[in-house]
A and B are shown apart, each in its own frame.
Chain A
């Protein structure tokens, strides 16, 4: 059984500017985020991720459409009346307050009693492991510490939904990995619904319960990471998440004929002019004369340690990349210029209509 919807955007349109110069930052976006879920909005720069978060938080009003929280229309509520908190990309910590005062700010504005503010603040600081820094000014903290204060501050009032706008993008790689684990732990311990924004596909795949892939103001596909990766709905999703080989082809009656020559057996998928999408790790190298294999020539080999990327050219020059796992007995004896046969792992081929 799926959990009930926590926050929902219904047919939301957001246009900036008017007339000729109007930008549709969001173009009829509908998405329901389930209670307790770690939901990620993934998409390239400028696709409207921040805009969607700002509409949910109430910093901006939609041009049309509705925002619902637990089934209630909150479109007209100002941000201070929405039990939704944000972790800002720039952290936006109050420089004139201490760490503890920052964390307690929301509760103080809600008029909570002093004792409760003290208790919750202490608990939140323990949650993000910053007890020792409670009395410090935020300017004296490192980037990672500021990040934790921002998290604790947004979690302290126990919002129904926590919005996180690329909270990790300012951190270096090592800290980023640590904070990814930390975020998952916090979400697990608090049970709060997280809406997380990133343009890093790996981050999205490893952290999310579900991902919404956005492009140019629209949500193209919503689903669990595995589904998004193995069954991308279209060419944009397939190319944005992970690497993919795209091969133009014709599909008629269960037979797919590649334009580069050769045939594939595929079940289902759109008919007519299609694109065959296959992940590099699903491409197998076989002897060139093996029956049914596609014929190709090795162009280039790039060694990555855990695997080797083998760039091949089909008969008409179309490039295909195969990712070959490095084995213990290294060096498979491949050389540029050698002929090779290609096979695609069964079930790994995806047909995309354009």
Chain B
């Protein structure tokens, strides 16, 4: 392997890679740094403080948007993960069937259709449902988030199922387990890390969504990202930096757990 092609032997590769990382992370580092800024202006350093975190914490609107974001993300990730688990079982634990590829594409569709298109489509459908039923609660947002989170939950679950030794389920059947017992005592426990990973990914994706939420939400249904967007339109305060940094912290924590769960064992 020593003599095989190695990109770092090309001139400038290391430099370009460094530049790319700088472009990716410099803004985030700046954001985090300025979230601890004591000044009122967003880009003048005025000393270290937790002032904007305190301001955000005390802000009623931030509180309710955060609560709403967490409710929607939790509900959407539970629904999306349940559906994704069933879909993953349905596509890996049965004989190959006609139209299988089509099913894969259909399940992963939200990854490919432009989000704005989905948003408009949902807006139209939900608007007519609203008129017909009079219901205007969080259900629409939860449903919309569940839908676009499904492929994100599906991918790690399916990967885990495909990596699972099929002979384990055969062995369970050999040892008198009926299909339900096989699922309950063998498939599910072995699938659990995939399910948790899928749920976390779905949670993070839902927490971060702006476009679809912006279109589907009713008045007074701001989530944290749409609240921030609204704030930016008016006056930019370092409070947004603090909220962003908190959101970043949560996301990094969840994604770390996700990677720990999905990395290869051994």
Contact = CB atoms under 8 A, between A and B. Distances in A.
B167 A80 contact: no
A105 B175 CA distance: 7
B173 A78 contact: yes
For the residues of B in contact with A, the DSSP-based class is helix
A270 interface: no
Contacts of A154: 174-175
A110 B168 contact: no
Interface string A88-101: 10101111100000
B176 A86 contact: no
Nearest to A83: B176
B175 A85 contact: yes
Interface in B163-189: 165, 167-168, 170-178, 181, 185-186, 189
Contacts of A80: 173-178
Nearest to B175: A106
A106 B168 contact: no
B129 interface: no
B165 A90 contact: yes
B186 A109 contact: no
A169 B60 CA distance: 69
Interface in B135-183: 165, 167-168, 170-178, 181
B185 to A, nearest CB: 7
A157 B189 contact: no
A92 B168 contact: yes
A154 B172 CA distance: 11
Given A92-B165, A96-B189, A110 B176 contact: yes
Interface in A136-158: 153-154, 157
12 contacts: A57-B174, A59-B173, A88-B167, A88-B171, A92-B165, A92-B167, A96-B189, A108-B185, A109-B177, A109-B185, A110-B176, A157-B176
Given A94-B171, A96-B189, 17 more contacts: A59-B173, A79-B170, A79-B173, A80-B176, A81-B176, A88-B167, A92-B167, A92-B171, A95-B168, A96-B190, A105-B177, A108-B185, A109-B177, A109-B178, A109-B181, A110-B176, A153-B175
